[in-house]
Structure 1
Amino acid sequence: MTALVPTVHSTPFTRAARMEWIKLRSLRSTAWALLLTVAGMVAVGVVTMAHTKAPSPAKAAVFDPTNNVLAGVALGQLVVGVLGVLVVTGEYSCGSIRSTLAAVPDRRTMLAAKAAVYGTVTLVVGEAVALVTFFAGRAALADGVPRPGIGDPGVLRAVLLAGAYLSLVGLLGIGIGALTRHTASAIAALVGVTFVLPAVIGGLSGPTVAKFFPTMIAGNSLAVAKPVADMLTPWTGFAVLCLYVALTLGAGARLLAHRDA
């Protein structure tokens, strides 16, 4: 008599995630975009720190070189966010979305798999590049400029949250891509939310409203070792960003479920 060995079946989400991972790593644009993110952030961090001068006694209390070295996050978020948009809209533009939906009929599962795979990849890359940027930029500081240590108060938290921010922006890109399903409009919306609106609203009303926009949260709440006046605290800013991601992905999943391919 042959013994029956129970077979472990993968779930629909697991199969969808495996498929999304294969698609993501097979695209040349993925590797190039992530390489650009790494090179750009490290270069900006090193150049910024190389030009950072020792603070005057009056400004020593608020001098935050950790925030300076993480300035490249502004470039990294653009690349990661646009790639997140393309993870969704690229399939619609070339028509391969029909094959994807044939393999994964549940559109919410499909979007969740895309978000999980891309979010994990960008989180790993984001944390790695934030750490590399910090140590490379620290080494570029001129003599006489206070060097931040990874164990100094607030420094490790700032570096790790800056890396996590890249992943959150990537997920925003996926959510916006799911909402519009059109590459140009999704990228325009992403750039508007992260760059244009904060600058315009900040110029009109100061930080009162602008401090709630992603880029302002990154630069003045997450990637700081010392608190910035009139801005959100680091963990409040992080919670607001997570809320934005949840709402955007939720709305995108809802629209995907009620639209034709």
Structure 2
Amino acid sequence: MKARFRDLLAAEWIKLWSLRSTPWAFVVGAVAALGVNVNAAFADYRNYPRYPDGIRELFVPIWAMRDAFTLGGAMVFTLATGAIGALVIVGEYGTGQIRTTFAAVPARRAVVAAKALVLAAVMLVYGVLVAGVSFAVTQGVLDGRGAGMAIGDEGAPRAVVASALLAPVCALAGFGLGALLRHTATTIVALAGVLLLLPALMDERDRWGATLLHALPQGAWKRLTEVGVSPVPVDYPWTAGGAWAVYAAWSLGAVAVALFVVHRRDV
């Protein structure tokens, strides 16, 4: 009997949580990212009375939002979610279980689509939880100095949504790389290189460097979490619409790569 797609979704849900590393990866990723952000908020809370008037005038919303979603926290979150996405498919190749899966369900594209949908849904919920907690806790800390933001403030909803969506975007990027490379260590190194190292090498003062950074998830995330008018001029500004398009392109492109390579290659 031909497997129904909802049965494939149920099977992939079970596989995801049957990996012993999955719950730990979720917990460690969330704790690490939140720890970096909350630490930044406490640092500003302690130092706020010593800040000059110029910084205090700009603190809300620019620095308050940066405490909620620090670059360091985003990098940790990127690596954690990308690694989970990679393990969803690489782990099955590593154990050889993928042969059993394709023997039971010869429609490989349907299997990959089910994996991607389950991964994206779980990561969306995970991202919403982590981004929401980070915003609430950091702004609660800063409220002690009268420097916190509310979720309804201008730019805050977009920043929270962008940070939440960073989880499924990076997870799907890891998923696509995992399908392409099929080796855990190689995939994680490639993922870190593309999503973390490459943005660090880009110079935003150079047109080509800025263009490449804008085309990466980290660059899109930075643009979407910017609020207020930065005191530092930007040589090559980027639009929020373009940043959302980058999110979509990476997600859809990664799934397309996974569908193609799994269908074309032998197990």
Indicate the TM-score class for this superposition, using the shorter chain for normalisation. Answer: 0.7 to 0.9
Structure 1 residue aligned with 2:160: 159
Separation in 2, partners of 1:10, 1:130: 40
Separation in 2, partners of 1:237, 1:226: 17
Tell me if the contact between 2:172 and 2:251 (Cα under 8 Å) persists in the aligned partners: yes
Q: State the 1:244 CA deviation.
A: 1.7
Structure 2 residue aligned with 1:224: 226
Please tell me the residue identity of whatever aligns with 2:223: S
Separation in 2, partners of 1:45, 1:100: 40
Separation in 1, partners of 2:94, 2:107: 20
Tell me if the contact between 1:222 and 1:234 (Cα under 8 Å) persists in the aligned partners: yes
Structure 2 residue aligned with 1:64: 63
Q: State the 1:10 CA deviation.
A: 9.1
Structure 2 residue aligned with 1:209: 212
Please tell me the residue identity of whatever aligns with 1:254: F
C-alpha distance 223-204 of structure 1, shift in aligned 2 (>3 A): closer
User: What is the TM-score with the length of structure 2 in the denominator?
Assistant: 0.86
Tell me if the contact between 1:202 and 1:209 (Cα under 8 Å) persists in the aligned partners: no
The CA RMSD measured in Å over matched residues stands at: 2.3
Q: State how 1:3-82 maps to structure 2 within 5 Å.
A: 12-52=4-44, 53-54=47-48, 56-59=52-55, 60-61=57-58, 63-71=62-70, 72-82=73-83
Tell me if the contact between 1:211 and 1:231 (Cα under 8 Å) persists in the aligned partners: no
User: What is the TM-score with the length of structure 1 in the denominator?
Assistant: 0.88
Percent of counterpart pairs with the same letter? 33
Structure 2 residue aligned with 1:246: 252
Separation in 2, partners of 1:143, 1:128: 23
Structure 2 residue aligned with 1:91: 92
Please tell me the residue identity of whatever aligns with 1:41: A
Separation in 2, partners of 1:94, 1:248: 23
Separation in 1, partners of 2:133, 2:87: 27
Unaligned regions of 5+ residues in structure 2, if any?
none
Tell me if the contact between 1:46 and 1:69 (Cα under 8 Å) persists in the aligned partners: yes
Task: Output one character per residue of 1:8-57: Cα deviation in whole Å (capped at 9) or x when no partner.
Answer: x9963212111000111222211111111221222111101111254644
Q: State the 1:79 CA deviation.
A: 0.7
Deviates more, 1:139-148 or 1:75-84: 139-148
Q: State how 1:181-192 maps to structure 2 within 5 Å.
A: 181-192=182-193
Partner SS, residue 147 of structure 1: coil
Please tell me the residue identity of whatever aligns with 2:261: L
Separation in 2, partners of 1:157, 1:68: 15
C-alpha distance 204-196 of structure 1, shift in aligned 2 (>3 A): farther
Task: Output one character per residue of 1:120-176: Cα deviation in whole Å (capped at 9) or x when no partner.
Answer: 001001101111111111122274352111110110221122011111110111111
Structure 2 residue aligned with 1:259: 265
Unaligned regions of 5+ residues in structure 1, if any?
1-8
Separation in 1, partners of 2:237, 2:170: 19
